[in-house]
Amino acid sequence: MSNRQDEGLSAFARRMHASGTNLEQHTPNSIFSRIPGSEIPQHKIKHSAKVTVVGVGNVGMACAQTMLSAGLLNELALVDVLEDRLQGELLDLQHSAAFLPRVKIVADTDYGVSADSDICIVTAGARQREGESRIDLLDRNVNLFKKIIPELVRHSPDTILLIVSNPVDILAYVSWKLSGLPPNRVIGSGTNLDSSRLRSLLADKFEVSALNVHGYIIGEHGDNSVPLWSSLSVANVPVLNFHDKKGVQYNKETLEEFHKAVVKSAYEVIRLKGYTSWAIGFSVASIVKSLLRDQMHVHPVSVLANSFYGIDYDVFLSLPAQLGSAGVLGIANLPITEDEAQRLQNSAKILRGMLDKSKMQ
């Protein structure tokens, strides 16, 4: 780590100490810290798994298809208010039975079909109307979630909620409040896909497998996300101040172009095909795999961030989270710089401000 990064970390630590913030989240003795209020039972690998997907639109069906293709499920339940669309999707999937591992697929407009689900994935959401403000759209989605979340938890009290609908950080918070579940069992898909997009761009640039690019985008899933350049590496070589084959040096300014490309990429897909689906489907399947198989893999997903990185109020945003059969097992204590911490806190304030203006506080 450079002297400049050391100085940034030290200044940040002094400021947090002066404010009385618990420094365990920033200069810890352990790699991971649990979210306060978590309920973590003994690890267990599920030998049979049921997952419910609420919403059979493009995203919901992409999630269903990728999970089925990966052989993650023994039973898949689909729920939607549009009965004809729902039954059509059910039949279409059932007709593929000969090409998939044996799995039971059911569908209904009644949430009873979701009973005893290990994971409930919510992709349903209201679309923004012409001239409608983000807050008005949020309020409509809050009203929708008031019908969805209590029903899911009533039929599956031990489930893990995985929220995919946008704005995902806000709706993950709403789901936590409505469900009454401990915070480790409510997760938003967050910046898991954003981070994958970043790794893919850097892999192309450095001509290496994306598996050898390590780094996260955290914070809000959207324009105010925060790339962690200080810990970004390719084949364990820090990228900051690194020179590529053409002699180009990578600093925060040049790396920001990659971040802008990540933020714009979803808009570009929407412009070209009208919606995004497959990438988020694969992203969700990777999260489900870590949960069901107790892999303890680290994903940047939306979690309750109170008490982490100087955030001292309830808000959901993406942090590197260790996932297992109990949900969020812990949050990685990354040595982020003061600048990165400030950007993360600003992201949290924006999200909290949206919540304070909405009907769900």
> Which residues are known to be catalytic?
221
Q: What is the DSSP letter of 215?
A: -
For residue 28, cis peptide bond before it (omega within 30 degrees of 0): no
Residue 212, φ and ψ in degrees, nearest 5 = -100, 10
CA distance 163 to 186: 8
* Residue 301, marked binder: no
Phi, psi of 131 (to 5 degrees): 80, 0
DSSP strands (E only) in the chain: 32-33, 50-54, 75-79, 104-108, 119-122, 160-163, 186-188, 213-214, 217-219, 225-227, 233-234, 237-238, 242-243, 249-250, 297-304, 316-324, 327-332
Q: Is 213 annotated as a binding residue?
A: no
Binding residue per annotation — 294?
no
Longest dimension (CA), the chain: 63
Instruction: Characterize 183-214 residue by residue with b for buried, 16 or more Cβ atoms within 10 angstroms of its Cβ, and e for exposed.
Output: bbbbbbbbbbbbbbbbbebbbebbeeeeeebb
Pairing mode of beta strands 119-122, 160-163: parallel
Beta carbons of 285 and 70 less than 8 angstroms apart: yes
Residue 56, annotated as binding a ligand? yes
CA distance 34 to 39: 9
Closest CA to 351 of 316, 320, 319, 318: 316
Q: Is 310 annotated as a binding residue?
A: no
Was 33 annotated as part of a binding site? no
Per the listing, tokens 């961030």 go with 305
Q: Exposed, middle or buried, 318 (CB in 10 Å: 0-12/13-18/19+)?
A: buried
Annotation-wise, does 356 bind a ligand?
no
- Beta pairing partners, 161: 120, 186
CA atoms within 13 A on the CB side of 108: 7
- Which one, of 79, 110, 105, lies nearest residue 94 by Cα? 105
Query: Could you tell me which residues are annotated as the binding site?
Result: 55-60, 80, 141, 164-166
Query: Could you tell me which residues are annotated as the binding site for NAD(+)?
Result: 55-60, 80, 141, 164-166
